[in-house]
C-alpha cells in the first residue's frame, strides 16, 4: 500500500540517524580537541630574551628544578611529564604519565576527561624525571591528522632526511633527538619485535641487541647507529596497514640542556 513505511525504510532511517549522530559528535569532539590543545600550547611560557645577547644555555627553572616554561601546566595536572614537538608535523603536544597503567590517557584529555583522541603518554614503566635508556611515548593515529598521525610520513626516507629531529622535553631537561630507525611490527605476530619491553638495559649486550633489532627492522638505513649509553626515545602509534600493526620511530639524544 502507498504511504506505508516498510521495515527496510525504518532500518535505513535508523542507520542514517545513528551515522549522522556519530558524524556530528566526531565533528564537535575534533573541534574541542583542537581548541583544548591550542589553550595548552598558549600556556607554555617562552623565556624572555635578556638583551641583545640571549644566552640559550640558561633555561629558567622553578625552585624544585622544573623548567619554568611548563610549570603552569604541571600545576594544572601533576601527570604532566613533558612536551613533544616535531618540526614539519602537527605533533606539538604535552606528554602525560600515569604510574599504574598505559590505558589511563588512551582515551582521556589533559585534565582526565573522556576524549576519543586521548593525548600522548609515556610508558608507565619509564621514570618521568629522566634516567631511562629508552623513553617510550604512545599516541593514537587520528584520521584527521591529530596525535601521532604525522609519524607515518617517516615511512619515506626523503621525508626523514628533511625532518630528522624530535624535540622532547621532560619537566627537568630540554632534549633534541636524531631519528635512526623507522619500522612496522605487528603485535602478537610470530616475528613481532617487542620494542615496548625495552626501557633500561641491564648490560651493554642488551642495549646493543635492541639497537640491532631496530636497525634490522628499519624500513631504510639512516646511516646512524647509537653508541652504548646514549639515551633513546621511541614513538609508537597504530599504522592500520594490518591488524594490530604499530608504526614506530626511534631516535637518539644528541643535545640536552
- Indicate the domain borders of the chain: 78-256
The model's pTM is: 0.85
In tens, the pLDDT along 164-197 reads 999 999 999 999 999 999 999 999 899 899 999 9
240 — pLDDT class (breaks 50, 70, 90): confident
Spatial distance between the Cα atoms of 180 and 172, rounded to a whole number of angstroms:
25
For residue 10, give the C-alpha cell. Answer: 525504518
Cα Rg of the chain, angstroms:
21
In tens, the pLDDT along 47-83 reads 765 554 555 568 999 999 999 999 999 999 999 999 9
3 — pLDDT class (breaks 50, 70, 90): low
Spatial distance between the Cα atoms of 230 and 74, rounded to a whole number of angstroms:
27
Task: Kindly report the length of the chain.
Answer: 257
Topology given in CATH for the domain delimited by 78-256: Sortase; Chain: A; (2.40.260)
Amino acid at each position: 500500500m502507498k504511504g506505508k513505511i516498510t521495515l527496510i525504510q525504518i532500518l535505513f532511517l535508523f542507520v542514517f540517524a545513528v551515522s549522522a549522530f556519530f558524524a556530528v559528535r566526531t565533528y564537535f569532539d575534533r573541534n574541542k580537541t583542537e581548541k583544548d590543545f591550542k589553550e595548552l600550547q598558549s600556556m607554555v611560557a617562552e623565556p624572555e630574551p635578556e638583551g641583545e645577547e640571549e644566552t640559550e644555555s640558561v633555561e629558567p627553572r622553578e625552585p624544585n628544578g622544573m623548567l619554568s616554561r611548563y610549570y603552569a601546566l604541571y600545576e594544572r595536572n601533576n601527570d604532566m611529564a613533558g612536551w613533544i614537538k616535531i618540526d614539519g608535523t602537527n605533533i606539538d603536544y604535552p606528554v602525560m604519565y600515569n604510574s599504574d597503567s598505559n590505558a589511563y590517557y588512551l582515551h582521556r584529555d589533559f585534565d582526565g576527561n573522556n576524549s576519543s583522541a586521548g593525548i600522548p603518554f609515556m610508558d608507565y614503566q619509564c621514570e618521568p624525571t629522566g634516567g631511562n635508556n629508552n623513553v617510550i611515548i604512545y599516541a593514537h593515529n587520528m584520521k584527521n591528522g591529530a596525535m601521532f598521525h604525522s609519524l607515518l610520513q617517516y615511512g619515506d626516507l626523503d621525508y626523514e632526511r628533511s625532518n630528522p629531529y624530535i624535540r622532547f622535553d621532560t619537566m627537568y631537561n630540554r632534549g633534541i633527538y636524531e631519528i635512526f630507525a623507522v619500522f612496522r611490527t605487528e603485535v602478537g605476530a610470530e616475528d613481532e619485535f617487542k620494542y615496548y619491553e625495552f626501557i633500561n638495559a641491564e648490560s651493554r649486550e642488551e642495549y646493543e641487541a635492541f639497537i640491532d633489532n631496530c636497525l634490522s627492522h628499519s624500513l631504510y638505513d639512516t646511516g646512524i647507529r647509537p653508541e652504548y649509553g646514549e639515551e633513546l626515545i621511541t614513538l609508537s602509534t597504530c599504522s592500520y596497514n594490518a591488524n594490530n600493526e604499530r608504526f614506530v620511530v626511534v631516535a637518539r639524544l644528541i643535545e640536552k640542556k
